[in-house]
Structures are given as C-alpha cells and as structure tokens.
Structure 1
Amino acid sequence: MSSLPGALFAYPKQAEFGRVLPKNKIYEHSGANTRLKDLFVEQVEQIVWRYKLAPETINLAAKPGVPEIQVFAIQLKTPELHHDVLLCIDGAVQFPIIFEVTQGQGAEAKTQVVAAYKRPTEADAIKWVCSEYFESGWMPATAERVPLPLALDLAGLYEQLLHRLVPIAPRTQEPLCDLIARTEAAMTKAKEVAKTEASLAKEKQFNRKVEINSILRQLKAELEQLSR
C-alpha cells in the first residue's frame, strides 16, 4: 500500500492566511493532558495556519461537512510527529485540515502531507470525528508543487486531496466513507499480519509453526482482499 505522488499542492495566493498558532492555545482549548502537552513541547517547533480554502478565497461552494478546508504547516523539532498531536489540533479546529509537516532546515528540509478524514458526527453536527491519519512519503520541502485538482465544490476538493493520501485505490463508484473504512480495516489487518509473522519467527515447535503459518496465510488473503 503506497500513497499517490503529488500530494504537495500549489495553493492559491488569495487563500493565504499565514497566522502563527500558539501551541499552548491549542492544547488548552482541547483540554490536553500532561503527556500531550509534553509531545507538543518536545516535537513541535511552530504551527502556522498557512491557507484557508473557502468560498470567498477560492470560489468553490461550501458543502455540509466541508464549509472550509484549512492547511496547517507544522515545523518539527524531531524526525517524527505523534498522531495524537494532530488529533489534538483537529479537535481544536472545527474544519477539515490538511497538515504539511516539515523536518529539518534549508536544503535538508523534508515535508510530508498528513490528514484524517474529518466529518461532523451524525448525532451532533458540532462534534467532529476523525479517521486514522493517512500520509504521503517524505519529499524535499522545495519539491515542485502541483496545481489543485479541479472540483465543483469544497467537498469534491477535500475528497480529491484525501485520495492523494489514502494508500488504497478506490473501487469503481466507491464512496469516500467506504474507501476510508476499507483502508482502516486493511491497516488493522496489516498489523495482525506483522504480529503473526513475528510469532512465526520466534516459534520453535514444528506443529505450532504449521498452525501459525496457516493463520498467516488466511490473514494475508484477507489483507489482499481488502486492498483490491
């Protein structure tokens, strides 16, 4: 499973927002615990609200669940970013967010695009839920950006931005919510495969090895089915 190339987009100049977001404001708003605050302090250098994709900035109509799309740039202090940090930011901002995460400085800087499928809950439109996070590979921060995909409205644009990150191709006519659910199931199954492979490598008893191998074959077949 690998994400599509070209996840770094050239966002329109008129959508530029460029506001630095204080880290403490975000985790205070989300009621973050000490562990989460520590992750912000240890891993995050700066958060910048880079772009606001809205009807008035890019001339695409709002849709239920996608009134605007925000693009946040996160400069890291460390090589990795815990997804709980992103979940905390998503919890503080009531709009879908595309994150551009950068590690390193200057010519060595690398950027990765990360996002969850974020939508209002059916029970309560002011509460939002997030899927697992999907991410592109790391690219040079200076990599050429591609034009935004064509879309009829913000919901269509959001769907296309997410398709660039989801590591499984959609089936014919498959709605985004079904693709996301299938991808999450495949990610869970891939973890089961890895765990079973580790058990197999450690097992010494022949009979038990045969048994585990049989389970592994079944898991791999299920993963293959989910990934197609």
Structure 2
Amino acid sequence: MVNSVMAYIPFVFPHAAALGNTITLPSNSKSHGQFVEKSDVKNIFSEKSGQKIPKETIYKQANPTPDIKRIFIQQVDQIIWRYKLSADTLNISTSDNISEVQVFDIILKPECEAINELVLSTLDKTILTSIYFRLFYTNTHRMKMQCAMADKRVNKRSDEQMVVRDYFISPKIDIQFNLELNLPYMSESQKLPVVIDMTGLHKELLRSLLEQPALNDETLEEQLDRIATLKKLNNNSAKIQSAISKEKQFNRKVQLNKMLNQIKKQIKALSG
C-alpha cells in the first residue's frame, strides 16, 4: 500500500543506535555526487558501516521457495542491519509488546524499479522484532529511497512465528548516494519523534507511512482496521467500475451503479 497523499520526510536515526564499524571517509568528500561531507554524515546519517547480512543467511533461516530466492537474486544487492532502536540505545522506557525496532537498509540492484514485497515479508517472518526498511534504488541516473514497514504481530498460535498483515510504503524520494560506502545523503530529514517508550516509537514510525491520517482519538489499531477496510472497498469499487464498462444490459448497469454509489459513500465516510 503506497502512501500517495502526504509528503514524506525521512527520519534520521541517532548515532547511539548505529551498528558496525566506524567508516573512514575520503579526504575529498563532497556533499553531492558520489561522496558525503563528514559533517553531513554525522548529522544526517551515521558514519558507522552497519552489519551486512548475507543472503545465504536469510535463505538458511527462512527456507524460501525457489521463486522467492530468484526474486532476492534479481532485486537485492545487499542487506545491511543499520540501527537497533531499543530502550537502551534511545534512552526511553521499555514496552512489553515492542522490545526493539531494527532498521534494515536494502540496497537494490540498478535494474530494480520496484521492490517485490515478498523480499520484505521473508525478512519480517524470519526476524521476530519489528523492522523499519529503507530501500535504496541505485540506478545512477535517478537514485531514490523509499521507507517501508509492516503491520506485524506475533502469531497467537506460536510465539516463534510472525504474522504480516500489510505493508505501508512511502513515496520514493530523491537522494545522493555513495555507491562505495553505501551512504545516502538526504536533502531533507527529521529527527525521531519524542516518545516515552518503545510502543510509542513503533506507533509513530508506522503512522508516518500511513496514507490516511488518524482521526480524533483514533488508536493505531483502529486506524489500521479502517485503512484495511478502505483498501477492500476501493478494490470492490474498481471491480464494479470494470463490470459497468463491460455490461450491455441497461437494468444490470443501473444495479451496478447503485452498488458503486453505496461503496463510494462508505469510502467517503471512512476517509474522514
């Protein structure tokens, strides 16, 4: 589900939550093109390298089908575990239902124009904590970034299995990207919201990607349910419109139009 309504400004994550070794930047660093200023790296993106996760490691844990493995090979260049957002690294309170949020950078191959959600769901079903994805499209003529996160929860039947309900993905934004160091430069970013615990952080991260803003006093769960209902209604609306365009009988067209108008009223009521 792609956010096409609200402008998206990516988050910058704190250095204390970064993983990996410190990167030594070249002395001729520039803030545009292939390199990033040292000051920009510290303020906009951690100068730590993150921890690379080999695709083979994912294959061993997820046991993907041949088709899913083929998608990984075709689309994914690198997977980097970049940040661990936790009570310790952010100096906030713990939560029983949200222990950590991992930030994964997925560096996509230049020919990849749109990530297949099976890549994200394979990672989400393998890793039990929540994951905030940053997707980097590395075609040198139009380097872009998207952010994505799932409505994800533990399976009620098994604490060791995750259920992924839906994905919420930001629009693509233009970035500068250091292909050698895998460091992006974002012209506009925002700090993480001030929250008291991990549940609050998870809510704000996910809500930043939702195309329908929350209604007054609406909980995150209510908002997600409303968005899921809207998605179904919009799909039904598209099917009925297609049926109307193909229908030749006048009486049947009248019935379909009545159904379509009822769905449109429901969509309007739920859109707030």
TM-score > 0.5 by shorter chain: yes
CA deviations on 1:91-139 (whole Å, 9 max, x unpaired) are 1111111111121345621111111122223454333222210111111
Aligned partner of 1:29 in structure 2 is: 61
Take 1:212 and 1:19, find their aligned partners in 2: how far apart are those partners? 55
Extract structure 1 runs of 4+ deviating beyond 4 A. Answer: none
Unaligned runs of 5+ in 2: 20-49, 176-185
Q: Which amino acid aligns with 2:166?
A: E
Take 2:156 and 2:240, find their aligned partners in 1: how far apart are those partners? 36
Aligned partner of 1:152 in structure 2 is: 196
Higher relative helix content: 1
The alignment yields a C-alpha RMSD, in angstroms, of 1.8
CA contact (8 A) 1:49 1:71 kept: yes
Q: TM-score, normalised by structure 2?
A: 0.78
Q: Which amino acid aligns with 1:121?
A: N
Aligned partner of 1:136 in structure 2 is: 170
Take 1:123 and 1:150, find their aligned partners in 2: how far apart are those partners? 34
Take 1:39 and 1:94, find their aligned partners in 2: how far apart are those partners? 22
1:213 aligns with 2:257: yes
Aligned partner of 2:18 in structure 1 is: 16
Unaligned runs of 5+ in 1: none
Matches within 5 A, 1:180-219: 180-219=224-263
CA contact (8 A) 1:168 1:183 kept: yes
Aligned partner of 1:162 in structure 2 is: 206
Give the secondary structure class of the aligned counterpart of 2:228.
helix
Number of residues of Structure 1 aligned to a counterpart in Structure 2: 228
Aligned partner of 1:96 in structure 2 is: 130
CA contact (8 A) 1:3 1:166 kept: no
Percent of matched pairs sharing the same residue: 32
Give the secondary structure class of the aligned counterpart of 1:81.
coil
